[in-house]
Amino acid sequence: MIKKISDKDKKDWLNFINSDEKLVNKDISFEKKQKLFLNEKVIDLHGYSLEKANKYIHKLIFECYENKITKIKVITGKGTRSKNKENPYQSKNLSMLKYSVPEYLNSNEELLKIIKSINQKDINSIYKGSFEIILKKNDKN
């Protein structure tokens, strides 16, 4: 089935071709978004013990800083299935990665020298199982 182009469509097309109106190059904006993702790292700490999670994040933060990655999304989980809640001898908050990893970061002077901010709002939210770390820019190299 062949459709005939309407006179209105022809007129609109001619107006468009003859106008000086600029169209946004969507490819350029896509390339900029791709560059942003190259400057971001996502890690998932599900299944890590507290000690292993702290060691891993310590190492990762320095690697990201050296590689000029400025944003790290840390997935810890919400802690809703944590068995530590049932143990009266353990701190509910500090035994779950959601709270203990940021506590570790905030108490580590070495890391705080290169961390610009930690998204505290996400940590305190009962609906989020992740938070973001923003690193300072590494001007070396």
What is the topology classification, in CATH, of domain 45-141? Ribosomal Protein S8; Chain: A, domain 1 (3.30.1370)
Helix, strand, coil: what percent of the chain each, to 5? 45, 15, 40
> How far apart are alpha carbons 96 and 87 in whole angstroms?
12
Mind listing the pLDDT tens digit for each residue in 36-58?
556 889 999 988 888 999 999 99
Mind listing the pLDDT tens digit for each residue in 64-114?
999 999 999 998 887 655 555 555 444 444 457 888 899 999 999 999 999
Q: Specify the pLDDT at position 30.
A: 53
> How far apart are alpha carbons 10 and 125 in whole angstroms?
55
- Which residues are CB-contacts of 94 (< 8 A; sequence separation ≥ 6)? 100, 103
Strand partners, 117: 134
> How far apart are alpha carbons 12 and 8 in whole angstroms?
6
> How far apart are alpha carbons 84 and 100 in whole angstroms?
13
* Amino acid at position 37, single letter: F
pLDDT tier for residue 20 given thresholds of 50, 70 and 90: confident
Mean pLDDT of 104-130: 87
Q: Is the pTM of this model over 0.85?
A: no
Mean pLDDT of 12-38: 67
| Domain residue ranges of the chain, discontinuous segments joined by + | 45-141
